[in-house]
Amino acid sequence: MEPSQNIYDDPAFFTNYVQLPRQQKGLLGAPEWPALRAMLGSVQGKDVLDLGCGMGWVCRWARDESAKMVKGVDLSETMIAKAREFDAATEGRVAAIDYVVQDLETWMVEPEQEWDVVFSSLTLHYLYDLRRLAQEIYSSLRSGGRFVFSVEHPIYTAPKNPAFVPTPGSPDSKTWQLNAYAEEGVRLTSWLGAKGVRKYHRTMETYLSVLLETGFVLRGFREWMPEAESVGGAKGWVGERDRPMFLLVGVEKAA
Ligand SMILES: C[S@@+](CC[C@H](N)C(=O)[O-])C[C@H]1O[C@@H](n2cnc3c(N)ncnc32)[C@H](O)[C@@H]1O
C-alpha cells in the first residue's frame, strides 16, 4: 500500500477546491445532501463521527441538530484548520466539535469511545483498504448504530479516461466512456488543476459485499441523480442523469 496522498494540503489545489459551490455554500451547495440527511435520520442526543470531515460542514450540521458529541477526522491539516476557523465564529455559544488530523488508513477504534452515527462524505474512494476501515467502524458503533456514506459512483470511478464524448451520429447527445469496470484499484485523474489525483475504483458488488461481510445490515441505497424536473435549475448537474456520480449507502450494526 502506498502512503496516503494528501492532495488537499497542496496550496494550489486547495485554492481551487475552496471555490467549488459546495465549499462556498456548504451543504446547500451539495445536491445529494438531502438524500444523505434522510438516511442519517435524527442525530439529536447522538454521538456522531465524521470520517474525512473536510471543512466540517456536516460536523456543524450535527452540532446544530443537537448531537451530544461530534468529532471530525481528516488527513488534511488545511481542511481541519478551515473547519476550526468556521467553528470559531460560534465559540462559547455551542458545544465544541473535536477535530483530529489523522489518516483513515490507520485510524482505529478508540478504547471506551463508541458512536451512534458514523458518517463519511466523498472520502472512501481515496482509501486503499476499505475492508479494514469498515471493520473498525463496525467495532466503534453501538448496537443499532448507523454508518452512512457517499462515494463517487463506481460507474464514475471505473474509466481509465473518465469523460463524456459526443455520441456517434447524435451530436446533441453525449456518452460516458465506461470501461475497466472489473479492474478495481488505483485511478490517477486530473482535477482542479492537479495531475495524478489518486482514487480507488471499486465495483458496486465490492462496496456492498465488504459491508455485508463485516456484519452490517443494509438500510439505504441511492444512486444520486437529479430529478428530471430539477435539471434545468440544478446548474452544473445536467449531465448527471446520463450516469450517476454519487453512490449513497446507509447500513446499521444490528441491535
Ligand atoms: C472531497 S473531500 C470531502 C470533504 C467533506 N467530507 C465534504 O463532503 O465536504 C475528501 C476529504 O477526504 C480527506 N481524505 C482523503 N484521504 C484521506 C485519508 N487517507 N484519511 C483521512 N482523510 C482523507 C481529504 O483530506 C478531504 O478532506
Dist. CA 13 → ligand 1 center (Å): 13
Answer yes or no: is the C-beta of 59 below 6 A from any ligand 1 atom: no
Hey, whose CA ends up nearest to atom 25 of ligand 1? 76
C-alpha 153/C-alpha 86 separation (Å) is: 29
209 vs 238: which has the higher pLDDT = 209
> Nine-digit cell at 67?
448531537
Q: Which of 123, 198, 248 for mutating ligand 1's site (highest number of atoms within 8 Å of CB)?
A: 123
C-alpha 180/C-alpha 153 separation (Å) is: 14
Q: Which atom of ligand 1 is nearest to the CA of 50?
A: 6
What pLDDT is attached to residue 172? 82
Dist. CA 8 → ligand 1 center (Å): 8
C-alpha 254/C-alpha 110 separation (Å) is: 21
Residue with cell 453512490: 247
Dump the DSSP string for 18-30. Answer: TTSHHHHSGGGG-
Residue with cell 477504534: 109
* pLDDT interval class at 1 (50, 70, 90): confident
Answer yes or no: is the C-beta of 57 below 6 A from any ligand 1 atom: yes
Percent of the chain with pLDDT over 90: 80
| Average pLDDT over the chain, rounded to an integer | 92
Q: Which atom of ligand 1 is nearest to the CA of 103?
A: 20
Dist. CA 160 → ligand 1 center (Å): 22
Q: Which atom of ligand 1 is nearest to the CA of 104?
A: 20
Dist. CA 52 → ligand 1 center (Å): 4
Hey, whose CA ends up nearest to atom 27 of ligand 1? 54
What pLDDT is attached to residue 98? 95
What pLDDT is attached to residue 241? 84
Q: Which atom of ligand 1 is nearest to the CA of 127?
A: 19
| Model pLDDT for residues 72-128, shown as the tens digit of each residue | 999 999 999 999 998 887 666 666 899 999 999 999 998 889 999 999 999 999 999
Strand segments, DSSP code E, in 180-239 are 185-191, 194-201, 217-224
What pLDDT is attached to residue 21? 86
Dist. CA 199 → ligand 1 center (Å): 11
Listed in sequence order, the residues at least 6 apart from 33 whose beta carbon sits closer than 8 Å to its beta carbon are 27
Residue 163 in this model has a pLDDT that exceeds 60? yes
Residue 234 in this model has a pLDDT that exceeds 60? no
| 3 state DSSP class of 84 | helix
Residue 255 in this model has a pLDDT that exceeds 90? no
Answer yes or no: is the C-beta of 54 below 6 A from any ligand 1 atom: yes
Residue 238 in this model has a pLDDT that exceeds 80? no
Residue 182 in this model has a pLDDT that exceeds 60? yes
Residue 4 in this model has a pLDDT that exceeds 90? yes
Hey, whose CA ends up nearest to atom 26 of ligand 1? 54
How many residues does this entry show for the chain?
Answer: 255
Kindly report whether the global pTM for this prediction surpasses the value 0.85: yes
| 3 state DSSP class of 168 | coil
Percent of the chain with pLDDT over 70: 93
Residue 164 in this model has a pLDDT that exceeds 70? yes
Dist. CA 16 → ligand 1 center (Å): 15
Q: Which atom of ligand 1 is nearest to the CA of 7?
A: 25
Instruction: Return the top range by mean pLDDT from 92-101, 189-198, 223-232.
Output: 189-198
Q: Which of 30-44, 109-123, 165-179 has the lowest mean pLDDT?
A: 165-179
